[in-house]
Homo-oligomer: A and B are copies of this chain.
Amino acid sequence: MTAAVGLRERKKQQTREEIFEAARRLFGERGFDAVTVAEIARAADLSEVTVFNYFPTKEDLFYAGMQFFEEQLIEAVANRPRGEPAIKAFRRRVLAGAENLAGRGRAEAILKAGRIIAVSPSLVAREREIVDAYTRRLANVLAEETGASSEEVEPVAAAAAMMSTHRALVAYTRTRVLAGHRGARLVEDFRTQARRAFARLERGLGDYAVRA
């Protein structure tokens, strides 16, 4: 009499969520580094080992929930219409994401996450690692499409240029929110910066920062 999905499976899912919830709460209260995995285990009423069983590193406990926008960026490029250069698709997806910045409580969420990450070296490191992984994936997509080998430098450089622009935009948004900007103003600034930076990459750096 096995249900569509067994008890075991359901319990696991539940445990996973309990751990994650406990972690989320504690990180929110006291930041990342000030919370030990042992405490999270205690709060979720489990042994420490079990926590590591579900989340191999403490950092996973923080980033597990985040929907990686990066994933969608890769998809946007991979599924772009014929005749379109990769950067156009990338740029479009990034700009489409700008809408959300004006949403209810969005700024506060950005602020909170930003504060927690910025203060924790291990979270910052993890973020870099994630970006790196996505950059490699994007580079692979570009290499395949242009018929280059994945070792080649051109696709990696191009992928990194795009991803870095996105990361810089995220960082920019953080500082803007920190400076008190919200809503339409925030979205507008984001768009201006995005357009300018992408335009630069599209047009090339050949005439950028020419020494006076």
| Contact surface of A with B, Cβ cutoff 8 Å | 80-87, 125, 128-129, 132, 135, 142, 145-146, 151-158, 160-162, 164-165, 167-169, 171-172, 175, 193-194, 196-197, 200-212
13 examples of A-B residue contacts, CB within 8 angstroms: A85-B205, A86-B205, A142-B209, A145-B209, A152-B193, A152-B196, A160-B164, A161-B161, A161-B201, A164-B164, A201-B201, A201-B204, A203-B206
Contact A158/B200 with A151-B172, A165-B153, A175-B151 known, Cβ cut-off 8 Å: yes
| A157 pairs with B161, CB closer than 8 A | yes
Q: Are A205 and B154 in contact (CB under 8 A)?
A: no
CA–CA, A201 and B211, complex, Å: 18
Once A129-B128, A193-B152, A196-B154 are accepted as A-B contacts, the answer to whether A210 and B164 lie under 8 Å apart by CB is no
Contact B153 A157 (CB under 8 A): no
- Known: A205-B86, A205-B161. Is A156-B171 also a contact (CB below 8 A)? yes
Q: Are A193 and B154 in contact (CB under 8 A)?
A: yes
Bound-complex Cα distance A202 to B157 (A)? 12
CA–CA, A182 and B186, complex, Å: 52
| Whole-angstrom CA separation of A155 from B156 in the bound complex | 19
Alpha-carbon separation in the docked complex, A171 to B149 (Å): 14
A203, A207, A208, A209: most-surrounded residue (chain B CB, <10 A): A209
Closest to A190 in B: B153
Complex A-B, nearest 5 residue pairs according to Cβ-Cβ distance, in ascending order: A204-B204, A160-B164, A202-B206, A86-B209, A161-B161
Residue from the set A154, A157, A206, A207 with the largest chain B CB neighbour count within 10 Å? A157
